[in-house]
Chains A and B, each alone.
Chain A
Amino acid sequence: MAVMKTTRDVKGVGLSIPRPDGPEKVTGRVQYVADLQPRGLLHAKLLRSPHAHARIVRIDTSRAKALPGVRAVLTAADIPQLKKKAPTRAHAVLAIDRVVFVGQPVAAVAADELAIAEEALDLITVEYQVLPASVDPLKSMQPGAPSVADAGTEADTSEALAHSAVALKNEATGPAKAVNIAQQSRVHRGDAAKGFAESDLVLEKTYRVPMVHQGYLEAHAVLAEWDRNGLLTLWASTQGSFNTRSEVADVLGLEENQIRVIPMECGGGFGGKIRALCEPITAELSRVTKRPVRYVMTRREELEAGMPAPQVIIRLKTGVKRDGALVALDAETVIESGAFSGAVLAVSAVFLGSMYKWPAFDIRGFEVLTHKPSVAAYRAPVAPQTIFAIESHMEQIARTLGLDPVEFRRRHLIQEGDPMVNGQPWQSNGGKQVLERVAQHPFWTERAAWARSGNRDGRGRRGTGLAVGGWLGGLQPTGATVRLNPDGSLSVLTGQVDIAGTNIALAQIAASAYGVDIDKVRITTGDTDVAPVTGLSAGSKTIYTVGVAVMEAAKDARKQTLEIAAKELEASFHDLDIEDGKVVVRGVPDRSTTLASIGKKGNLYMSKIEPVLGVSHPAFSQQAPGFAAQLARIEVDADTGELTLHGFVVVQDVGCAINPLGVEGQMQGGAVQSLGMALTEALTFDDVGRLTNPSLLDYRKLTAADLPNIETIIVEVPSPSGPFGARGVGEPPIIPAPAAIANAIQDATGVRLTELPLTPERIALAIAALPAAAGPA
């Protein structure tokens, strides 16, 4: 659709307006799940497996049940709906017969106090027969590895559909009889083998990115209560209340209209709070105790048994001509999904082969199960890991051939219409624009001077690196209503969970599309009983899809308003406009009626005027890719490997910045998550599958003291379908930093690191291993 034109300037789209719930957030008044304390509240705890793989021989809960204050103790035997071949993590409410990762819930307790529930866990005895575990994905995908899933369990592809809307055909190329390969894919075009034979430079490297945690500060939490009519209410910390409702209904065998999900303030999700996790067991504890039950995961439980991002291992081989012409690409991606399937295999293949125009490619992908916590989405799932590989590779090719890294990328970067690896054409995007813009930044143009300025004490090596990356943009059907109130104000209703400040942007869209100032618009996130069906807050699609619903509903409400006014003013609909809270006839200054009077007539006893109710529930198919380029200025201590970030720049195409304040916040926050993945973060496991860093002291996230200010540069290449040309904003900024930092390290020191995180230890060891002559001048 065309970009909507408003007839006069209203305070709406394009302005940096602080979110209206800001005062509630800074005074501690907003309510998260753990802040709820209804009468009769019980507290839940889960007994979790200490073993990565074991058979459950016997569970004795009798002593726990006898503890005063304990109201329920459940094991899988108490929940007949549970299936042995759990298709998803949510279905594996409590372990049946076998545990498949450390931290898997085995029994559940509800008690009057949290301390009693904790004590009860100690009184449950479980006899395990420990079995060999598969903890290394490369070994786990070989024949003969200990099996993770029960035979016949189906792979779960819903996550991929929710996030990327990119389908690939399954094609088996992995080892035959490999029990732990859950999904395989292959895409190929042309003759890659012939291409390598004709190439002047063939480069092959293996890139590794470990499991990382989304790191939301509010752990998973839920409060469940059944009423006497058999209706279940869940107060949830979720990225999508309708999705939570569907999953809980499926797992527990309930009708969806038996469940009401009330989304509370969500203390961060980043993909980790899409799928149900602790909701089904908490609902069961409430059902058997007939009391409200609250479950809040501890940080240790989050790190050990949350749903982190997968480990990704990419073997990448490229062939190019001496002049930099691309010839062939061959890649094998292993995505380690932990104990349950659900990785987004297609995204990795698309970004490996589709960012640049490779004439021939062959890309195989494997989703491999291991005895570790199963994974979920993490902001642009698998894209930062994949872009780390391809953008590290492109940089090395350019350096080896003596080509300018930006010009080399610009020459081969895709544009609208170029085919992706799956044959679908790239939609309009700002990839080239962000690359060209970042290359104008002084950090880039003055990189030689920066490099020369280092090394004064013989240790400080200075460098600059950049990378570009993109996200295809998510889609999901959604809905919104816009009502005109009797005082002339607007009420917007969606079911969209507002985590980052999307509601103010949606309200701005309504204001501009209807024709009133933002202070006349109030937006509400309804629960699943009252809101129109609304999709996930995920995949960079809230503004892109719900924004369209709100825009169309506001335009619908505007049309209804003008039709009512046209009759009253005896004027043509087409001559009317909305100005300053009034419907006016253009060119006839004294003929007008107020929005308030139209709103009032829609709510008067015996009135014949219909109440204004704008409705839209779109489902559209055009994606809007969002690209970001990131630029790092760093210094590396050549002795210790310590890396100091002196500056970091995010350039991003957002289509149209509906609320620049919120857009900048997304760009800065995404960049720092990306930098965390680059520099410090990794879930590390021992050889029997136990997490060795289960605290925020040891799982190191970046703090304010580790960082410079993040500079943001907004680029606007309008999307054809988004509201006012907007594109998704959340995902792109988490993608390029690992490659940008690795490229900067090579610039500074001459070493090329291929495994994240880029720790001082790895950097120092790599520098020490350089042949003396090969070090930087």
Chain B
Amino acid sequence: MAKQILRCTVNDEDVEVLVPPYQTLLDALREELGLTGPKEGCGTGDCGACSVHVDGKLVASCLMLALQARGRTVKTIEGLAKDDVLHPLQEAFVRLGVPQCGFCIPGVLMAAAALLADNPRPTESEIRYGIAGNLCRCTGYTKMLDAITEAAGTVAGGT
């Protein structure tokens, strides 16, 4: 099948790339644009490792075709830190020792960032459900909860 042109905004930059019509957004980001932060953990939308934001909404990029992102704004984990300054969520994840193997972390951070954008002061239960679409096998989620709670305080306190 002939490739088609995908024009969209990725991490605040306009991009133009040729993609096959069957290619997922995840594969286009990883294979065509070199953004390998989003991971494929299952390819069926069950694990959340491929989570990105499309027009500010949390999306499993393995379930979306790349061409569905035409004209839209995509943000990946690579776009979460601004000018090498870590996002408060990223800073808290590092300081509280959340990452172990690290494979789920980009997806969890994107889910948490989407949660805090909608709900700057979530309850514990809201955080738990906010990242319930993200499987992690190393951490048991406890330190993640601590880090998101701390970062939520920082984000909310700063605004």
Contact = CB atoms under 8 A, between A and B. Distances in A.
A270 interface: yes
Contact of A26 (B35, B109, B127, B140): B109
Contact of B97 (A270, A661, A704, A705): A661
B97 A665 contact: yes
A665 B40 CA distance: 24
A665 B103 contact: no
A10 interface: no
A166 interface: no
A450 interface: no
Most buried by B among A22, A29, A670: A22
A26 B144 CA distance: 12
B27 to A, nearest CB: 8
Contact of A668 (B35, B128, B142): B142
Interface in B71-130: 76-78, 80-81, 86, 90, 93-106, 109, 127-129
Contacts of A267: 39, 101-103
Given A25-B105, A27-B77, A268-B103, A665 B139 contact: yes
A23 B78 CA distance: 12
Contact of B90 (A26, A266, A668, A705): A26
A115 B76 contact: no
A217 B139 CA distance: 12
A680 interface: no
B100 A216 contact: no
A520 interface: no
B5 interface: no
Contacts of A501: 97, 99-100
Interface stretch (A31-39, A80-88, A251-259, A367-375): A31-39
A69 interface: no
Nearest to A500: B100
Interface stretch (A181-189, A337-345, A465-473, A693-701): A693-701
A672 B96 CA distance: 18
B132 interface: yes
Contact of B141 (A25, A214, A672): A672
Among all A-B residue pairs, the 7 with the closest Cβ atoms: A28-B37, A267-B103, A668-B140, A22-B94, A672-B140, A696-B46, A28-B77
A215 B31 CA distance: 25
B46 A669 contact: no
A25 B31 CA distance: 20
A673 B102 contact: no
5 contacts: A26-B93, A34-B39, A499-B101, A500-B100, A704-B136
Contact of B99 (A22, A298, A695): A22
A18 interface: yes
Interface in A191-227: 214-219
A37 B136 contact: no
A418 interface: no
A453 interface: no
Contacts of A30: 102
B102 A265 contact: yes
A298 B101 CA distance: 19
A22 B93 CA distance: 8
Contacts of B103: 32, 216-218, 267-268
A504 B101 CA distance: 14
A623 to B, nearest CB: 25
Tell me which of A298, A695, A703 has the highest count of chain B C-beta atoms within 10 A of its own C-beta: A703
Nearest to B77: A28
A19 B97 contact: yes
Contacts of A29: 37, 78
Contact of B78 (A27, A665, A710): A27
Contacts of B128: 703-705, 707
A299 interface: yes
B129 A115 contact: no
Interface in A58-109: none
Contact of A299 (B42, B93, B96, B142): B42
Contacts of B90: 23, 26-27
Interface string B30-48: 1100111111111110110
Given A34-B40, A696-B135, A701-B135, A665 B143 contact: yes
Contact of B46 (A266, A672, A695): A695
B137 A662 contact: no
Chain B interface, >50% SS class: loop
A709 B145 contact: yes
Given A28-B76, A115-B20, A18 B97 contact: yes
Nearest to B139: A669
A676 to B, nearest CB: 9
Contact of B41 (A28, A115, A217, A664): A217
A16 interface: yes
Contacts of A669: 100, 137-140
Contact of A270 (B34, B93, B137): B137
A274 interface: no
B145 A704 contact: yes
Nearest to B34: A37
Contact of B39 (A32, A298, A703): A32
A268 B97 CA distance: 16
Contacts of A668: 139-143
Contacts of A696: 41-42, 44, 46-47, 135
B49 interface: yes
A671 interface: yes
Contacts of A672: 139-141
B137 A673 contact: yes
B132 A705 contact: yes
A113 to B, nearest CB: 8
A299 B41 contact: yes
B134 to A, nearest CB: 8
A695 B42 contact: yes
B101 A500 contact: yes
Given A217-B136, A671-B140, A673-B137, A27 B101 contact: no
Contacts of B34: 37
A270 B136 CA distance: 13
A710 B137 contact: no
A268 B99 CA distance: 11
B43 A27 contact: no
Nearest to B148: A704
Given A215-B137, A219-B41, A710-B140, 14 more contacts: A26-B90, A28-B77, A35-B30, A35-B36, A214-B137, A265-B101, A499-B101, A672-B139, A696-B46, A696-B47, A703-B128, A703-B135, A704-B128, A704-B136
A215 B137 CA distance: 7
B94 A18 contact: yes
B131 interface: yes
A35 B49 CA distance: 14
Contacts of A269: 101
A214 B128 CA distance: 23
Interface in A675-729: 695-697, 701, 703-705, 707, 709-710
Among B30, B94, B100, B132, max chain A CB count under 10 A is at: B100
Most buried by A among B43, B131, B134, B136: B136
